Amino acid sequence: MTVSNRALIMLADLLRERRATLGTRWRRLNAGRQALLVVAYLRKGETYADLAGGFAIGTTTVYRYVREALDLLAAQAPTLEQALQVARGKAYVIIDGTLLRIDRVGMTGGQDRPYYSGKHKCHGVNVQVIADPAGRLIWASPALPGARHDMGAARAHGIIDAINGAGVRAVADTAYQGGGPAIRVPYRRRRLDPDTHRYRPLPPNQREVNTAHARQRGPGERANSKLKNWKILRKIRASPSRATTLAKAVQTLIIAA
């Protein structure tokens, strides 16, 4: 697995501290092996049955080990306030939203509707991401149902008010139009021409601004791709209520690396 030793050691240390707090005297796997099991689950998307066979333990034990470690990792994830402290040291930050697909959602009685993204044509959860100019992940938000618009999700998490209040310069796509003076978005296409029924072209100076803006915003996609490089987040098989814990756990490991 392409996972840094630093992230693996950090997780193993958390597990050792947890065992010392509980006064645990013996388990089937030591802290280091449990950390390896959890990273395999997150990085490779291995099933409980495969992990049980590979580590010679029961599936119930795998479930308990994974859930314990995920809760520990999620608790270590930075808060929005801590992320803004980091953001103040950057020239600017990039705000973007990403959809994490899910498959365990009720299809009866319209229970799946809040999770259906019309943009992506699939069910998922919306996660807001803040990245630095190099595309390094600074913060990932809790998960909201995938039908939420990026701007609505950002306001629900308090990102818009926090960015403007902290005086941090941010760039984002047109979904964040009206986000305040601190958030720069590209010029939007003009209205349809009633004669040609085509969008009126932007003036050359606005096209140049949009090109420069896209260059600044582009590295933000790296942060999204780093999240989805962890196969567990490509399609979440767990309950959607666990999506936030999974995203926060992965975030902690990415930042630790």
pLDDT in tens, 43-69: 999 999 999 999 999 999 999 999 999
Q: How many domains does the chain have?
A: 2
Which residues, listed in sequence order, are joined to residue 145 by a DSSP beta bridge? Answer: 125
List % helix, strand, coil for the chain (3-state, nearest 5). 50, 15, 35
Q: Are residues 53 and 166 in the same domain?
A: no
Which residue spans within the chain are E strands per DSSP? 93-102, 116-117, 122-131, 137-140, 144-145, 170-171, 183-184, 235-236
Residues 184 and 194: beta-carbon distance below 8 Å: no
Q: What is the pTM of this model?
A: 0.90
For residues 29 and 154, membership in a common domain is answered with no
76, 106, 123: which is the final residue of a domain? 76
**pLDDT at residue number 25:** 85
Which pair of structure tokens corresponds to residue 149? Answer: 């618009």
| Residues spanned by the domain of 10 | 5-76
How remote is the C-alpha of 164 from its chain's centroid? 22
> In this structure, are 12 and 126 located in the same domain?
no
Amino acid 24: pLDDT: 87
Q: What is the per-residue pLDDT across 136-165, written as a single tens digit (0 to 9) for each?
A: 999 999 999 999 999 999 999 999 999 999
Does residue 244 belong to any structural domain of this protein?
no
Is 70 found in the same domain as 184?
Answer: no
Helix (H) or strand (E) holding 131: strand 122-131
- The domain boundary, picked from 76, 109, 129, lies at 76
